[in-house]
Amino acid sequence: MQKKICMIGTFAVGKTSLVRRFVESIYSSKYHTTVGVKVDKKIVRVGDEETTLLIWDIEGAESEHELRKSYLRGASGYLLVADGTRQDTLYKALTLQTRAEEAVGKAPFLLLLNKSDLADQWQITSRDLAALEQKQWNVINTSAKTGHGVEEAFLTLAEKMAEKLNG
Amino acid sequence: MMQSEAPELLDQAPPDTSSNDEENMAELRSLLLGPAEKQLAEVHTRLTDPRRQMEEVSRVLPAAISVRSRQDHDLTDALAPTVAAALHQSIRKDPQPLADAIFPIIGPAIRKAIATALNGMVQSLNQTMAHSLSIQGMKWRLEALRTGKSFAEVVMLKTLLYRVEQVFLIHKNTGLLLQHISAPGAKAQDADMVSGMLTAIQDFVHDSFATPAGDELEDMRVGDLTVWVERGPEAVLAAVIRGNAPEDLRAVFQETLEKIQLQFGMALSEFAGDATPFSATASLLEDCLEARYDSGSPAANVKRRVTPLTVIGAVLLIVVLIWGFFWLREVRRWNAYVERLRNEPGIIVAENGKRAGKRFLSGLRDPLARDPQQVMQDYQVNPQTVLSHWEPFHALTPEFVLARTSSLLNPPDTVRFSLTNGTLQAEGFASHLWVNETRQAARFLPGIGGLNEERLLDLNRIEDPLLRFELDRAELVPGQQQSLDLLTADIKRLQSLAVALQKSVRLEISGHTDGTGSGARNLMLSEERARTVASVLQARLPTFANLTINAVGSREKVREEVTENDRASNRSVTFKVVTTEAK
């Protein structure tokens, strides 16, 4: 089984780092801007079935207009990434989600609050979290640097996609 | 319907017969059917009369055959065995008509087949020869060595016009891979990721350059590889092609895609990540794995060989080779020359390079060393191409010190120099004047630490002393024994040095008298005096034979006679050493 998933978020929130951590178990603090998209692949097990995740690491988008719908086309799910140390990236993630839903419909997704290793610079407030809870969003704190939550995030998404297919 | 019902009506008529009713029935029938009766009778004849049937079928047969042939191949299939059997039968009966019929075809066909076969043989021979012997062949062999591929593989890659190496069948909407096949031996990367990336690139190009809908990326080219992308409604076919494929290959791809759309349309619409239903597309996609090779026609080879470019190339190559030969020879000569100079005593090469297009050489040179210009001639180096600069210096190697010393001191040929630990060794005999000058000069000569005179004889020791005689007699004045001893010893030394230097020496003994007395008497007396000394010396030096006597009387005075002492000095013999080359 193959599934296309997308990484969505603004610049420098750590989309590429999360993919590298998940696929290659590598972290580099060097910042690289992704131009266009980079496709990666990882095989995961969901239940008894092997699923090949084709991960489209899409370039950072500042606003919903910058997010190219064509890259999202055909995705079975997506990971919305925000930088926990920059509150504005969370708000941008919210608008990007609307755009993503326009493109792929009601596909499973998760919100990742990345850079959880930088606890002292954390800007996400409990009010933010409450609002997200009200939206019934799945939120996972991740750190591409330490690997915290990364595997969990991808696997959870894979499971949700499998549920959607079966249910 | 008509055909099947009509006979039924007619056939049912006879059982109904009864004698009375028959006429009535006939009347009724003629009333009911009236005009149709004639037609029925006509139909009846048409159906029962074989001749009519034949005529009718023959009328529609050609058209019917052509209509049916257009519809499907059933007719051909049905006819094939019959035609085959008929042909078989006909040949068995008489092969001649068929042989006659195909004769015009069979001749040219055979000729063509033979020509093609021969041509192919010649071509492959040419190709093998060309590939194994040509420069290109060598290059390919090198490439094979370098890349670890077999030679055959390299030749194949190089003569390949094009080859479809990989075919990807991609789900259009998701970019997920449905099927992937590759040609044997072609390198294939992770097809899942390539498929995703190919889709992403198409999206990227489409979005980035705002192309109108319908305009899509059709091909990508990287070096030798081209990726052709063909789109169907729900699937994309991407082919990786090495070389230059003809445009009509696109039609093959398009056709394959259409077939897939037709057969797997449902699966494509319902695709949700499970590619297993598409494993069956492999056989369809395999039609796309085409390849064409350069047959390398001999005509093309010949043409290629005589192009002006080839000629120019060959001439250039020859020129380069000749130039290279001369250049190499010049370099070797030059290096040998410089090497010689480095080994040449009294020359120190400090710099060897190029300046203003000429070779440049500089260093130190002792004025007594060999002239570099002369050495240059020995090595056939053209002096015009060389700039050299030599600073004079004094080399302190023994040979140079000796050579310099010799040229400065100008020793007579009865003296030989040698150098031992910086001390100048002089061997031989020379005039007092020269010995004195040498003593002075030796102290200032560079590289000379002192003068060893042990084997140097100052001739004054022999030529200066006088042996005095009694007045008017040829008898030595008594008390000159010591002078005689010294003289004898010095003559002995002279004798041994002369032998060492391969010179022969003669001792000339001159007898003198004072100015008193008559000239004749004096001459006689002087001769006697000389003889006396000669016999004394001969007794002391039996091996020294070369003595001559010379009577000069009072003609050659030792001193001007002013006092009695002067006269006593004139009553004497004097000596002179005469040197000649040894025999």
Q: Is residue B10 predicted with pLDDT exceeding 70?
A: no
Name the nearest CA neighbour of A87 among A116, A47, A128: A128
**8 A C-beta contact, residue B241 and residue B163:** yes
Q: Return contacts of A25-31, CB within 8 angstroms, 24+ apart.
A: A25/A147, A27/A144, A27/A145, A27/A147, A29/A145
Chain A residue with minimal CA distance to B174? Answer: A74
Strand, coil or helix: B272: coil
pLDDT band at B122 (very low <50, low <70, confident <90, very high): low
pLDDT band at B120 (very low <50, low <70, confident <90, very high): low
Average pLDDT in chain A: 91
Q: Is residue B191 predicted with pLDDT exceeding 80?
A: yes
Map tokens 């630490």 to a residue: B449
According to the model, what pLDDT value does residue A5 have? Answer: 95
More confident residue, A154 or B517: A154
Mean pLDDT of B546-563: 87
Q: Is residue B4 predicted with pLDDT exceeding 50?
A: no
Mean pLDDT lowest among B146-160, B337-351, B528-542: B146-160
According to the model, what pLDDT value does residue B66 have? Answer: 87
Counted domains in chain A? 1
CB atoms within 10 A of CB B23: 9
CB atoms within 10 A of CB B361: 23
According to the model, what pLDDT value does residue B77 have? Answer: 85
Site from B192, B198, B271 to mutate, A interface, most A CB atoms within 10 angstroms:
B192
CB atoms within 10 A of CB B308: 7
Q: Is residue A76 predicted with pLDDT exceeding 80?
A: yes
More confident residue, B14 or A148: A148
Q: Which residues pair with A51 in a beta bridge?
A: A44
Provide residues of B within 8 Å CB-CB of chain A.
171, 173-177, 190, 192-193, 196-197, 200-201, 203-204, 206-208, 272-275
Tokens of B497: 């040095």
Alpha helices (H) in B360-500, listed in sequence order: 372-378, 398-409, 432-441, 460-463, 481-500
Closest CB to B272: pick one of A38, A68, A165: A165
Q: Which helix (H) or strand (E) holds B165?
A: strand B160-171
More confident residue, A42 or A30: A42
A2–B207 CB contact, under 8 Å: no
Site from A39, A50, A78 to mutate, B interface, most B CB atoms within 10 angstroms:
A39
pLDDT band at A70 (very low <50, low <70, confident <90, very high): confident
CA atoms of A24 and A3, how far apart (whole Å): 19
What is the least distance, in Å, from the CA of B213 to any CA of chain A? 13
Tokens of B155: 């030749």
Structural domain for A142, as ranges: 2-166
Mean pLDDT of B410-427: 88
Average pLDDT in chain B: 83
CA atoms of B24 and B19, how far apart (whole Å): 10
Mean pLDDT lowest among B148-162, B403-417, B482-496: B148-162
Cβ-based contacts of A39 with chain B (< 8 Å): 175, 193, 196-197, 200
pLDDT band at B119 (very low <50, low <70, confident <90, very high): low
Chain B residue with minimal CA distance to A67? Answer: B207
Cβ-based contacts of A76 with chain B (< 8 Å): 174, 272-273
Provide residues of A within 8 Å CB-CB of chain B.
1-4, 36-41, 51-52, 54, 56, 68, 70-71, 73-76, 165
More confident residue, B568 or B105: B568
pLDDT band at B298 (very low <50, low <70, confident <90, very high): very low
Sign of the alpha-carbon dihedral angle for B130, B133, B139, B144: positive
Closest CB to A68: pick one of B176, B190, B207: B207
What is the least distance, in Å, from the CA of B233 to any CA of chain A? 14
Cβ-based contacts of B197 with chain A (< 8 Å): 38-39
Tokens of A77: 């799910």
CA angle B170–A155–A15, rounded 5-degree value: 75
Q: Is residue B372 predicted with pLDDT exceeding 80?
A: yes
CB atoms within 10 A of CB B574: 21
More confident residue, B45 or B135: B45
Site from B173, B194, B197 to mutate, A interface, most A CB atoms within 10 angstroms:
B197
Q: Which helix (H) or strand (E) holds A53?
A: strand A49-58
The size of the A-B interface in CB pairs under 8 A is 66
Mean pLDDT of A125-151: 93
Mean pLDDT of B297-313: 59
According to the model, what pLDDT value does residue B2 have? Answer: 42
More confident residue, B216 or A60: A60
pLDDT band at B124 (very low <50, low <70, confident <90, very high): low
According to the model, what pLDDT value does residue A147 have? Answer: 93
Q: Is residue A141 predicted with pLDDT exceeding 70?
A: yes
More confident residue, B507 or A47: B507
Mean pLDDT of B259-272: 87
What is the least distance, in Å, from the CA of A71 to any CA of chain B? 7
β-pair type (B572-581, B467-468): antiparallel
Edge-to-edge, what's the strand order for the sheet holding B347-355?
B347-355, B358-365, B386-392
CA atoms of B458 and B98, how far apart (whole Å): 136
What is the least distance, in Å, from the CA of B178 to any CA of chain A? 9
Half-sphere exposure of B183 (CA within 13 A, CB side): 15
Q: Is residue B305 predicted with pLDDT exceeding 60?
A: no
Chain A residue with minimal CA distance to B178? Answer: A2
Query: Cβ contacts of residue A165 below 8 Å, gap of 6+?
Result: B272, B273
pLDDT tens digits for range B64-95: 888 888 888 888 888 888 888 988 888 888 88
**8 A C-beta contact, residue A59 and residue A39:** no
Mean pLDDT of A45-65: 89
According to the model, what pLDDT value does residue B33 have? Answer: 73
CA B321 from centre of chain: 11
pLDDT band at B295 (very low <50, low <70, confident <90, very high): low
pLDDT band at A96 (very low <50, low <70, confident <90, very high): very high
Per DSSP, the residues of B195-262 read HHHHHHHHHHHHHHTTPPTT----EEEETTEEEEEEE-SSEEEEEEEEE---TTHHHHHHHHHHHHHH
Domains assigned to chain B = 144-293 (3.30.450.70), 310-392 (no CATH), 398-458 (3.30.1340), 460-581 (3.30.1330.60)
> HEC string of B478-517?
CCCHHHHHHHHHHHHHHHHHHHHCCEEEEEEEEEECCCCC
Strand, coil or helix: B358: strand
A2–B192 CB contact, under 8 Å: yes
Cβ-based contacts of A75 with chain B (< 8 Å): 174
**8 A C-beta contact, residue A93 and residue A106:** no
Alpha helices (H) in B271-307, listed in sequence order: 282-286, 298-305
What is the least distance, in Å, from the CA of B210 to any CA of chain A? 12
More confident residue, B331 or B185: B331
Mean pLDDT of A70-94: 93
pLDDT > 70 in chain B, percent: 90
Query: Cβ contacts of residue A43 below 8 Å, gap of 6+?
Result: A50, A51, A52, A53
A76–B177 CB contact, under 8 Å: no
Name the nearest CA neighbour of A37 among A72, A88, A63: A72
CATH number at A150 reads 3.40.50.300
According to the model, what pLDDT value does residue A148 have? Answer: 94
Mean pLDDT of B291-319: 67
Mean pLDDT lowest among A58-62, A109-113, B150-154, B305-309: B305-309
Q: Is residue B133 predicted with pLDDT exceeding 70?
A: no
CA A83 from centre of chain: 11
**8 A C-beta contact, residue B441 and residue B426:** no
According to the model, what pLDDT value does residue A100 have? Answer: 93
B204–A54 CB contact, under 8 Å: no
According to the model, what pLDDT value does residue B160 have? Answer: 66
pLDDT > 90 in chain A, percent: 71
What is the least distance, in Å, from the CA of B83 to any CA of chain A? 55
Phi, psi values for residue A52, rounded to 5°: -90, 115
